[in-house]
């Protein structure tokens, strides 16, 4: 059993590197359905379940330090490839997709609660209301709703269980859909030419650039510096249920990345490679805290969470067919609600690094509407519960 933080991080990198190597050097059909980044989540989660590493204080501190510091640096590096002049053309449809996703999540909570109500405790609606705040916004919204409704800590345990396990499965599902984006877009008759054009332009630009060690050092140093400065500045900014220090940190590095993309720094080759390395490590870190054994601790609540996601997914599918929304738009809109600033940029990156700002900014909207939307869902759930 691994107890050293250095060996723990090394093990994660070995697993990530091995899977990426197999994906790029073999023709296994497995990677067509489970790309290396999705397979990484499964493999690391299995290792965690079987106790390959122990959640010692040293490993936990290393996990928090790397995740908290690398995520802002990764977003900054990815934004160096962004071209907002192209991205702004997606604004109207992306905003519409976000609110469709938020509304579908609210409807899904009501439908799933109605189905499961007779099997749940009397105050279960409070547990689900807190969860709806998280899945329509973020952790800050969940805490705000807990305080507003005085949700017991015991009930919050179920909220966190659903939020971690079902959310992780939803992230893996959305990432697994990425390779099938073209077929989905053809089915709904979505016009994805703009997305493809952005990705093609980025790839073409990168092919013309030469990566050198000096440029990589400058990019790495700048990204880590921006991460440190953003986190420090965030502590001085006013916080609320809508804007936590983490939200401020992401917003600050987003602004910094967009601005720096217009400077000579944005022309230095290597940002894409560095950000992808960080992305794989962050995914591995998140998976290393999951445990399949937890699925047996609260099967009823986990099944309820999965039904919520099922209803949400079906509603999004119908709306995508009706409004001709492409898979990227639907997926990022969904994860901007359910996953927030920690996940939406990662899913956006799997399509094209130039689309990172869309995921970040959509997730920011969630912080604004999450608490109000969650409380509105809670009002409906309490009405259903009182009428039983």
pLDDT over threshold 60, residue 77:
yes
What CATH code is carried by the domain that includes residue 262? 1.20.1530
On whether the CB atoms of residues 333 and 98 are closer than 8 A, the answer is yes
Contact 254, 361 (CB under 8 A): yes
Summarize the confidence of residues 144-148 as an average pLDDT. 68
* Residue 208: per-residue pLDDT: 55
The pLDDT, as a whole number, for residue 167 is: 81
> Quick one: average pLDDT of 64-76?
85
Could you tell me the residue range of the domain that residue 305 belongs to?
5-386
pLDDT at 251 exceeding the cut of 50: yes
Distance between CA atoms of 94 and 259, rounded to whole angstroms?
Answer: 22
pLDDT tens figures, 362-383: 776 776 677 778 888 988 998 8
* Nearby residues of 51 by Cβ (< 8 Å), 6 or more positions away: 1
Q: 364 vs 56, which has greater pLDDT?
A: 56
Tell me: pLDDT of 172 over 80.
yes
Model confidence at 23: pLDDT above 60: yes
Nearest Cα to 125, choosing from 388, 386, 381, 383?
381
Average pLDDT, the chain: 81
Average the pLDDT over 184-192 and give the result: 81
Specify the pLDDT at position 143.
64
Confidence of residue 203 (pLDDT cuts 50, 70, 90): very low
Collapsed DSSP state (helix, strand, coil) of residue 239: coil
Over 80: is that where the pLDDT of 297 sits? Answer: no
Q: Is the per-residue pLDDT at 225 higher than 90?
A: yes
* 101: number of Cβ within 10 Å: 28
Number of structural domains found in the chain: 1
pLDDT for residue 181: 83
Q: Examine the pLDDT at 201 and tell me if it is beyond 80.
A: no
Over the stretch 327-369, which tens digit does the pLDDT of each residue have? 888 888 898 888 776 678 778 878 777 677 777 777 767 766 7
């Amino acid at each position: 059993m691994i107890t050293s933080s250095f060996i723990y991080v090394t093990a994660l990198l070995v697993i990530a590197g091995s899977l990426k190597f197999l994906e790029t050097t073999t023709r296994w059909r497995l990677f067509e359905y489970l790309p290396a980044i999705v397979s990484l989540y499964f493999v690391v989660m299995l290792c965690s379940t079987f106790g390959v590493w122990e959640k010692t204080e040293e490993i936990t501190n290393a996990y928090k330090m790397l995740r908290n510091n690398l995520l802002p640096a990764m977003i900054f590096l990815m934004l160096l490839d962004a071209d907002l002049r192209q991205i702004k053309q997606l604004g109207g449809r992306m905003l519409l997709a976000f609110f469709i996703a938020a509304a579908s999540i609210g409807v899904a909570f009501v439908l799933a609660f109605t189905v499961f109500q007779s099997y749940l405790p009397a105050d279960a609606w409070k547990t689900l209301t807190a969860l709806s705040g998280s899945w329509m916004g973020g952790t800050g919204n969940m805490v705000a709703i807990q305080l507003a409704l005085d949700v017991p800590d015991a009930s919050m345990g179920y909220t966190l269980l659903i939020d971690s396990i079902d959310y992780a499965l939803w992230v893996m599902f959305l990432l697994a859909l990425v390779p099938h984006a073209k077929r989905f877009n053809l089915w709904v008759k979505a016009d994805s030419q703009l997305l493809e054009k952005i990705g093609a332009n980025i790839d073409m630009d990168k092919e013309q650039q030469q990566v050198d060690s000096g440029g990589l050092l400058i990019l790495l140093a700048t990204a880590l510096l921006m991460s440190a400065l953003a986190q420090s500045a965030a502590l001085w900014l006013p916080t609320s249920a809508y804007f936590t220090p983490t939200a401020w940190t992401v917003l600050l590095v987003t602004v910094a990345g967009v601005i720096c993309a217009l400077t000579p720094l944005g022309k230095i080759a290597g940002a894409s490679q560095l950000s992808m390395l960080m992305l794989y490590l962050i995914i591995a870190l998140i998976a290393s805290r999951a445990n399949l054994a937890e699925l047996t601790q609260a099967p009823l609540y986990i099944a309820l969470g999965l039904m919520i996601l099922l209803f949400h997914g079906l509603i999004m599918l119908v709306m995508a067919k009706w409004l001709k929304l492409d898979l990227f738009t639907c997926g990022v809109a969904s994860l901007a609600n359910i996953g927030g600033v920690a996940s939406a940029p990662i899913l956006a990156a799997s399509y094209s690094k130039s689309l990172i700002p869309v995921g970040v900014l959509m997730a920011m909207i969630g912080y604004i509407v999450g608490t109000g939307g969650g409380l509105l869902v809670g009002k409906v759930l309490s009405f259903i519960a009182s009428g039983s």
